[in-house]
Amino acid sequence: MKNQEWKEDGKSRVRSGPEEGRDNRENRNEITRRTFLRKSLLAGAAAGAAANGLFPFIQTIEVAFGAEAFSFAWISDSHLYPKTLNTRFVEKVERAVNEVKAMKPAPDFLIYGGDLAQLGDPVELDLGAEILKALTLKKYYIPGEHDWYLDMGEKWMKLFGKPNWTFDHKGVRIIGLDTISRGPDYWSAKKMSPQERMGHMATLDGSVAGTWAGVGKDQLDWMSKTLSDWPKDKPVIVFSHNPLYEYYPPWNFWVRDWRDVQAGLKPFSKVTSVHGDSHQVLYNEIGKMRSIGMLATSWNWPYPPEGVPVLTTPMVRVDPGDHFDGVGWSKLAVTAADKVNNEYVMWRKDVFAQTQVDSGTGDNTNQILSPRIADRP
Ligand SMILES: [Fe+2]
Ligand SMILES: [Fe+2]
C-alpha cells in the first residue's frame, strides 16, 4: 500500500492516510492495536477515547461537534445458533456486551447492525434479544439477512420494531436503512420451504438468492424526505447491514441500487456510512461519502478475490485456532472539525501487517495489490 503511511511509536501502528488529493482529506480512518490504548495516548480520537477511559476491547463510536460530544457502540454479525447447538458465538456477543457495559462514560446508544441470528430461528433471535437486554442504554437495530428470511422478518420486527428509522443526536442526523427485506422472490416458483429460503440466504457465495441486497424505491424516497430539511453541510451518519456501494456483488457486499442511494446522499458534504455484513476491516470513499465496514463478533469473511477498495488496509488472516481472533467491534469519532475517525479494536494481538500479507484468499499478489475492478482506471 504505497500511499499509506504508518506511524510507529514502538507500541502500536496507526494508519494515517492516504490523505493527499482527497476532497475530505481531513477525515481520517485511524486504526490502533488494543495494547496501544492501554499504554499510551494517540493524537485525535484515540486520545479522547483513552482519556475517557474507554475499554480497549470495545468498538465504540465517539462523536464530537464543538462543545458537544458523545460516543456510541456498534455490535453486529453475531450469528447466534440456539444454545443447545453451539455456545461459541454466544460467548463472543456476551463479551462484547460486557465490554459495552463497562464503558465509562457510558455510550449514548448502541447500534446492533444485523445478523443477530444465524438461521432466523425465533430461538436464536430471542437469545440475542435476551443477551442484549443486559445493556440498558438506548438500542437501535437494523436487520441482517440471517435474521429475516425464515419468516420474512416477522419475529425480528416483533422484537425490534421497524427495520428503518431516523433520529437526530447532538447535531447529527442518523438514519438506519433496511437493506434486507427487498430481495426478489426466488422461493415461490421453486416452492421452497421457509427453511430452504433461509438456507440460500445464509450462503455467502450462493447464487439462488441472487442480488437480494437493496434499499428499494420506497425507502429511497423515505430517505430523501428524511433529509429534505437537513442542512447540506451538517453531518449525516447512515447505518446499514450491507455496504452502500458495489464492493463485491457476488457475495451481496453491496446494495443493487447503490447508485440511487449515493445520488440521494450526494448533496450532503459530510456523510459517513457504517455497515456490517462483510465481517472485516474495510474502508472506502466515493465522492464525499465515506464507508466503513465493521467487524463481526462471530467470524471473519475472507476478502473477495477481486481485492479491496484502494483505501482499505487489509487485515491479517485470522488464526483459525483462536475463535476470538480478528473479531470484535469498532469505534468512530467525529471531531469539532467534523473529521470522522474510525478505530477498530479487535480481540487479537496484531491487526495489520506493514508488509504484504496473505489476508485470506490465498493469492497474495492479487489480494493486496490489485484494487477491485470498480477502482481500476
Ligand atoms: Fe453477518
Ligand atoms: Fe449479513
CA–centroid distance, residue 172 to ligand 2 (Å) = 26
Residues 6+ apart with CB under 8 A from 87: none
CA–centroid distance, residue 276 to ligand 2 (Å) = 7
CA–centroid distance, residue 358 to ligand 1 (Å) = 22
pLDDT along the chain (377 residues), means of 10: 32 32 33 28 32 36 51 93 93 92 85 97 98 95 98 98 95 95 96 97 90 97 97 93 95 96 95 95 90 94 87 80 84 62 70 47 44 54
CA–centroid distance, residue 90 to ligand 2 (Å) = 17
- Among 29, 4, 7, 18, CA closest to 332: 29
3-class state of residue 70 by DSSP: strand
- Among 354, 356, 344, CA closest to 300: 344
Return the ligand number nearest the Cα of 327. Answer: 1
- Among 202, 205, 212, 150, CA closest to 180: 212
CA–centroid distance, residue 376 to ligand 2 (Å) = 27
Return the ligand number nearest the Cα of 243. Answer: 2
CA–centroid distance, residue 47 to ligand 1 (Å) = 30
Please tell me the predicted confidence (pLDDT) of residue 104.
81
3-class state of residue 166 by DSSP: strand
CA–centroid distance, residue 335 to ligand 2 (Å) = 30
Beta bridge partners of 117: 80
CA–centroid distance, residue 148 to ligand 1 (Å) = 12
Q: Are 199 and 187 in contact (CB under 8 A)?
A: no
- Report the sign of the C-alpha dihedral through residues 220, 223, 229, 230, in that order: negative
- Among 239, 244, 211, 373, CA closest to 308: 373
CA–centroid distance, residue 356 to ligand 1 (Å) = 26
CA–centroid distance, residue 69 to ligand 2 (Å) = 31
CA–centroid distance, residue 284 to ligand 2 (Å) = 19
Please tell me the predicted confidence (pLDDT) of residue 61.
53
Q: In the chain, what are the helix, strand and coil shares in percent, each to the nearest 5?
A: 25, 20, 55
CA–centroid distance, residue 115 to ligand 2 (Å) = 5
> Rounded CA gap, 256 and 276, in Å?
16
- Among 149, 142, 180, 182, CA closest to 164: 142
CA–centroid distance, residue 5 to ligand 2 (Å) = 32
CA–centroid distance, residue 118 to ligand 2 (Å) = 9
CA–centroid distance, residue 310 to ligand 1 (Å) = 23
3-class state of residue 136 by DSSP: coil
- Among 360, 371, 358, CA closest to 1: 371
Answer yes or no: pTM beyond 0.85.
no
Please tell me the predicted confidence (pLDDT) of residue 323.
85
CA–centroid distance, residue 144 to ligand 1 (Å) = 7
Please tell me the predicted confidence (pLDDT) of residue 63.
52
Helix ranges, 28-87 (H): 34-39, 45-51
Please tell me the predicted confidence (pLDDT) of residue 215.
98
CA–centroid distance, residue 201 to ligand 2 (Å) = 9
